Amino acid sequence: MTNEEAIQTIKHLIGTKYVRSVKNYIRELTGFENVSAPDDSRTELMISGAGHIAIQVNSCGLIERFDALGGLGGLGGTEPIASTYTPSPTE
């Protein structure tokens, strides 16, 4: 699954309350093993060739956007490739 396909698959979660179980749900939907969230203890983002989705949450605890990073879609390597989905005001 490419970054763009992953973002499209999980965009329905934008605006919902973030709970820890969302990480596993995103893993199951996208096949991405590396999913990080604001409550993770890691201070440094490590991007692997397997891809990474970062969950961005606003001050109210609602999912605001997703950032997909890593070497997906046949890109290979560890060069950061980013796809971000933030809904428009009309969505």
Predicted local distance difference test score (pLDDT) of residue 80? 37
Predicted local distance difference test score (pLDDT) of residue 57? 92
Q: For the beta carbon of residue 66, count every other beta carbon within 10 angstroms.
A: 24
C-alpha to C-alpha distance for 39 and 80, rounded to whole angstroms: 22
What number does CATH give the domain 3-85? 3.30.10
Predicted local distance difference test score (pLDDT) of residue 86? 60
CB 14 within 8 A of CB 83: no
The whole model's pTM is what? 0.71
Series of mean pLDDT values for 10-residue runs along the chain (91 residues): 87 94 94 86 53 88 86 38 55 53
